[in-house]
Chain A
Amino acid sequence: MAMTMHVDIVSAEESIFSGTATFVLARATDGEVGIMPRHVPMLAQLKPGEVMVRAQGGEETLYYCSGGMLEVQPHVVTVLADTAVRARDLDEAAAKEAKRRAEEAISERSAEMDYARAQAELAEAVAKLRTLDKIRRGRGSNA
């Protein structure tokens, strides 16, 4: 019987595959790597591409993953898949965008506007409650 290893493919949002396999093929940054049980420990960055898992019966399944990390221990292989294609400049752009929004939100005083609106709404609600209370109390004294 062939040796097997445990394979987990997970992304931050869900677990994609978990089971035993005899062979895993993935695309690392420096080229494809094929992993069989008892591989030496390895930590590799993955390129967007497919990860092939060969199960015990020789059945092969392909999973697409848009980059991520591959961790290999002698009997455990973990693929930490990214949920979307990630590149340094894209991340950079996202970071800039988040900074810009913060500056905008503070300088534009739109937050203040929201606050003012909320306050007006609160005042209205309080007034309504007071009216209701009055009606109730009026009934109480009449009873």
Chain B
Amino acid sequence: MSGAKEIRTKIKSVQNTQKITTAMEMVAASKMRNAQHRMQAARPYADKIRRVIRHLAQANPEYTHPFLQEREVNRVGYIIVSSDRGLCGGLNNNLFRSVVRSMKASEDAGREVSVVTIGSKAIQFFGRLGANVVAETSQIGDRPHLDDLVGAVKVMLDRYEAGEIDELHLCYNEFVNTMTQRPTIERVLPLPAAEEDEEPRHNWDYIYEPNAVEALDLLLTRYAEALVYQSVVENIACEQAARMVAMKAASDNAGNLIDDLQLAYNKARQAAITKELSEIVSGAEAV
């Protein structure tokens, strides 16, 4: 059987691919650890700001911010967090599928939908889909900074304040563990009303500086930003975990492929030798 040489070349090529996937797997594993670390580092801020907002709900504020007011929903905004790069399994697609489902439900209910995307995969997907993308941010890298996200978030907050959207949802992958990432759609605005707790309502209020409107505005803006930042960091951890798993599967597959090819190669080699031998023997007999 001919093709022994071809098979050998193929084996080489698969081996090279395997080297790359193994390297990517290891890089993803270490990046995932860093991302998880950042995820934990971002938690205190979100916890603290949530505590402040809870205090605020218990107090007797002189002014109710629009972010805290429920209103009739005619228009819906989505902030969609995705990765910048591919090769991370079905991570982005799973998220997009659930987002599209939710968007469709909103549209069926007669609500207009506008979208802000974070990460280049999302802009590609929703741009092609023809969604109303009002802002985008990409190339955030592995170490996102809050400043990179401010612009995109502000666009949505402004729209909310201007009454162009009545509800804001945040879509990202929740990091459950290395093997599991869960697509999550979370309502950011209006902020969920504080649940009435058993504690007696205190009749006190803060001293605001410079004044209630500005202080609350700043606080709630920061809160929304913190939520988005947290989701971006979480999504990066998800991306690396998904990539690690995908690359592990690819390396394993490459291994199987090499085994099969090796077998094919050995057989081809054996067949060639046998053929040569029988030719020599029959040649000698003929003499």
Contacts and interface: CB of A to CB of B under 8 A. Distances in A.
A11 B263 CA distance: 58
Interface stretch (B93-101, B104-112, B145-153, B176-184): B145-153
B38 interface: yes
B207 interface: yes
Interface in B1-27: 1, 3, 6-7, 10, 14
B227 to A, nearest CB: 10
B124 A41 contact: no
A106 B127 contact: yes
Interface residues of B, number: 63
Given A11-B45, A106-B127, A135-B7, A98 B264 contact: no
Nearest to A69: B219
A43 B209 contact: yes
B137 A139 contact: no
Interface string A2-46: 000000101111110010000000001110010000001111110
16 contacts: A12-B45, A12-B146, A12-B226, A13-B146, A29-B209, A42-B206, A43-B206, A43-B209, A45-B209, A97-B151, A106-B133, A111-B123, A114-B124, A136-B260, A138-B264, A142-B271
Interface of B: 1, 3, 6-7, 10, 14, 38, 41-42, 44-45, 48-49, 51-52, 55-56, 59, 86, 116-117, 123-124, 127-128, 133-138, 145-147, 150-152, 154-155, 158, 204-210, 214-216, 218-219, 222, 225-226, 229, 257, 260-261, 263-264, 267, 271
Given A41-B55, A43-B219, A101-B138, 10 more contacts: A12-B42, A13-B42, A42-B206, A42-B208, A43-B52, A43-B215, A45-B209, A71-B52, A98-B154, A105-B123
